[in-house]
Amino acid sequence: MIQVSSIVELRKLLKELRQNGKEVGFVPTMGFLHEGHISLVEAAKVHTDIVVMSIFVNPLQFGPNEDFDRYPRDIERDSELAAAAGVDILFTPTVEEMYPKKMLTNISVSQVTETLCGKSRPGHFDGVATVVTKLFQIVQPDYAFFGQKDAQQVAVVEQIVFDLSIPVTIVPCPIIREQDGLAKSSRNVYLSAEEREQALVLSQSLGYAEQRIKQGELSAATVRQEIIDKISEKPLAEIDYVEVLTYPEMVSTSTLNKGETYLIALAVKFGRTRLIDNTMVTI
């Protein structure tokens, strides 16, 4: 595995590889790698010849009172995990390399960002859209791999690629979970033992909602309220949002219709740690 931090150097490497007919797969991350990230690398290895992973904790996508400074970082460990997973090129730019001057350009996507994390984290998806577009310009991948764990992010990235005619195929990949159901996340390390225990209610309430829908419950409001009730039983859980939306349009709905796909998504805080999870249900 080659590790590079310079945009110029990365472009030079990729130019040579492309001239030799290699297809490039790209896995953008913020590091502190876990099996969720590794699953994206595995998918990339199936689709492409060369796998590029980026590790960049992007300040543009964190709000002023969010966890940019304390976001977990361990480049040495990440580098070992990436190499073992089969990453060919690890791109680890500094903030100065990515943003040497104040950015005067901002990519902003409407509609799909108006709910869920877009609503509760103002500016977050502008930061995501801007960095992903910039990384696409730098890497120019044939394929890019994103986890459904961040379902709204997938919708945002697909919208950018479509609207700006970026020549990349987006490959959404399934959510990887701990054995007990908690979705893997770099932020799970923040959780105390008690919070970790109570956080199980996220995947459990999503599973329960799926089951209720399969049993014939077609009121989105009822499904949503039942999730809220389950989560509210946990004293350390503070709900940010629970939503049942059409997918990929991300519009709220009152009745669930046969043949349609819905996203059930939630964000819940445990102390200072905000966790997200979701499931996609086709009726």
Catalytic site residues?
37
Please identify, among the stretches 17-25, 82-90, 133-141, 173-181, the one whose residues bind ligand AMP according to the rule CB under 6 A: 173-181
Q: What per-residue string of b and e applies to 175-213 under the rule 16 or more CB within 10 Å gives b? A: bbebeeebbbbbbbebbeeebbebbebbbbbbeebeebb
- If binding is defined by CB under 6 A, does position 37 make contact with ligand AMP? yes
Judged by CB, which is closer to ligand AMP: 172, or 220?
A: 172
- If binding is defined by CB under 6 A, does position 78 make contact with ligand AMP? no
Burial of 45 (0-12, 13-18, 19+ CB in 10 A): middle
CB nearest ligand AMP: which residue? 147
Judged by CB, which is closer to ligand AMP: 115, or 188?
A: 188
Tokens representing 100 are 């040497």
List CB contacts of 148: < 8 A, sequence separation 6 or more: 154, 172, 173, 174, 175, 278, 280
- If binding is defined by CB under 6 A, does position 51 make contact with ligand AMP? no
Choosing from 113, 186, 198, 205, the residue that interacts with ligand AMP (CB under 6 A) is 186
Judged by CB, which is closer to ligand AMP: 184, or 230?
A: 184
Cα dihedral: 144, 147, 151, 153 (round 10): -50
Q: How far is the CB of 157 from ligand AMP (least distance, A)?
A: 9
The candidate with the shortest Cα–Cα distance to 89, out of 21, 158, 12, 30, is 12
- If binding is defined by CB under 6 A, does position 149 make contact with ligand AMP? yes
For binding to ligand AMP (CB under 6 A), which residues are involved?
A: 29-30, 36-37, 39-40, 146-147, 149-150, 173, 175-176, 183-186
